[in-house]
Amino acid sequence: MAAISDAILAFTNWVWGIPMLLAIAGGGFYLSVRLRFLQFCKLPFILKNTIIASFGKKGENGKFSGWQAVTGALASTLGAGNIVGTAIAIAYGGPGVCSGCGSPV
């Protein structure tokens, strides 16, 4: 059983190395070429209609603006993830969780 586990571990370590890097970078480059570098050509339009437009709008009559809703949702998601993730890491005693208390890293 240990031999199978070691073989699977060796394979996953290999796959998540250079092959995955090439697949992700190659896929990104392929899509950029096929879409004629859309992310660069349309950057002024994207910025004008998303970020710049959202700073100019204010909530009316006590309502939230779109920007306020997005940043609030993002903050609550990231905050809860940080709190829960830290609690789970401490509970399981993962590597490097408590470097100041002398536990092995």
Q: Please check the confidence at residue 98 and state whether its pLDDT lies above 70.
A: no
Q: Looking at residue 70, what is its pLDDT?
A: 82
CA geometry: angle 70, 46, 50, nearest 5 deg: 25
d(CA 82, CA 86): 6
Q: Looking at residue 101, what is its pLDDT?
A: 55
The 3-state DSSP class for residue 40 equals helix
Residue pLDDT, tens place only, 10-55: 999 999 899 999 999 999 999 999 999 999 999 999 888 777 776 7
DSSP codes, 46-105: HHIIIIIHHHH---STTPPPHHHHHHHHHHHHHHHHHHHHHHHHHHHT-TTTTTTTT---
Average pLDDT in the chain: 82
If we measure between CA atoms, which residue out of 76, 102, 77, 98 comes closest to residue 87?
A: 98
